[in-house]
Amino acid sequence: MNLEQIAAKIRYTLCDVSSKTKTPHLGSSLSCTDILTALYWQVLNVEPSTPSMPSRDYFLLGKGHAASALYTTLAYRGFYPVADLYQHGQTDSVFEEHPGINSPKGVDTVSGSLGHALSLATGMALTCKIQKRTNRFYVLMGDGELNEGTIWEAAMFAAGKQLSNLVAIIDFNKLQGTGESCEIMHLEPLEEKWRAFGWHTIRLDGHDILAISDALKGAQSYDKPVCIIADTIKGKGISFMENDNNWHYRIPTQDEVEKAKQELGLK
């Protein structure tokens, strides 16, 4: 199975799980599927059989409402069976709508309140530098999440300490909860903003898995933190969901799931 096929399967499962468990945030999850595929199949030093391996790389999901994307990626990566995903959002399930402290294997931190992950990862990356450990830290944030002031506190701090073991990835799909992110706040020019904050910045197509993989691997060669601004489409891969912000909350019917499956080229 090539990476695009993996991403397609993740996308279908996201839709099916959302439909069957009545859990929202499909648009946000579809938006970052290719980034997660690149990370978990090409970049991260993780071992599904040993999720707490001390030398592992850490992935922190800033946009916690895309929990389903992370859970589904980890399932296909072999951390637990795909069938388990259908417990999403149910009582006593480890697959909470936002990752909690009882999260499934492979999820290291709580998420759901925006603007925490970059600060957490900054503390982790700083500490590993002090401890002379080689772990690397990857944070995925939404463009709406950049509204939070703590992002910029962490950005200044991480650059000040030249945390070269830290990578931020912006899932820049141009839409947030209730509107267009570039209208709600003045986000652009995003690369220049992060560069001005002291980061090495790269802008790329957030649905080009190979380009994302190359950029993430290349990020290791800089002596400062790296920010990858990934241009993405909310609802990517399913025509009737793309750029339609109703899918921030809408739940697909089973007919819509079947339609999605066909569009994704899956039998």
Partner 1 sequence: MRNAFANCLTELAKSDTSLMLFYADIGNRLFNNLKEIAPDRTINAGIAEANMASMAAGSAMMGQKPFIYTITPFTTARNFEQIKIDIAYQNQPVIIVGTGSGLSYANLGPTHHSFEDIALMRSLPNMNIVCPADSDELSVLMPQLIKLNQPCYFRIGKKNEPKVHKILPDLKFGHAYTMQEGQTVAILATGTIMPLAHDLLIELQSKGINAELVSFHTVKPLDTQYLALACERFEHIITLEEHNVNGGFGSAVLEYISEQPKTPRVHRFGIPDRFIDQVHSTEDARKKAGLTVLDIITTLKNRAVI
Q: How far is the CB of 49 from partner 1 (least distance, A)?
A: 22
The residue (of 5 and 134) whose beta carbon lies closer to partner 1 is 134
Q: How far is the CB of 136 from partner 1 (least distance, A)?
A: 13
Report CA-CA distances (Å) from 132 to 53, 107, 126, 163, 225: 16, 24, 10, 12, 17
Q: How far is the CB of 220 from partner 1 (least distance, A)?
A: 19
Strands 226-231 and 166-172: parallel
**Residues making contact with partner 1 (CB under 8 A):** 100-101, 108-110, 112-113, 116, 119-128, 130-131, 133, 149-150, 153-154, 156-157, 160
Report CA-CA distances (Å) from 122 to 61, 80, 103, 204: 13, 28, 21, 23
The residue (of 93 and 243) whose beta carbon lies closer to partner 1 is 93
Q: How far is the CB of 82 from partner 1 (least distance, A)?
A: 27
What's the token pair of residue 140?
């995925």
The residue (of 148 and 171) whose beta carbon lies closer to partner 1 is 148
What's the token pair of residue 36?
């997660």
The residue (of 10 and 117) whose beta carbon lies closer to partner 1 is 117
Q: How far is the CB of 72 from partner 1 (least distance, A)?
A: 23
CA 233 – CA 252 distance, rounded (Å): 18
State the Cα angle at 202 between 61 and 27, rounded to 5°.
40
The residue (of 93 and 150) whose beta carbon lies closer to partner 1 is 150
Q: How far is the CB of 79 from partner 1 (least distance, A)?
A: 19
**Residue 146 CA from chain centroid, whole number:** 14
Strands 175-176 and 179-180: antiparallel
**Residue 163 CA from chain centroid, whole number:** 20
- What H or E segment, with its residue span, contains residue 229? strand 226-231
- What H or E segment, with its residue span, contains residue 217? helix 209-218
Q: How far is the CB of 144 from partner 1 (least distance, A)?
A: 17
CA 140 – CA 137 distance, rounded (Å): 10
The residue (of 79 and 137) whose beta carbon lies closer to partner 1 is 137
What's the token pair of residue 247?
């899918």
The residue (of 196 and 266) whose beta carbon lies closer to partner 1 is 196
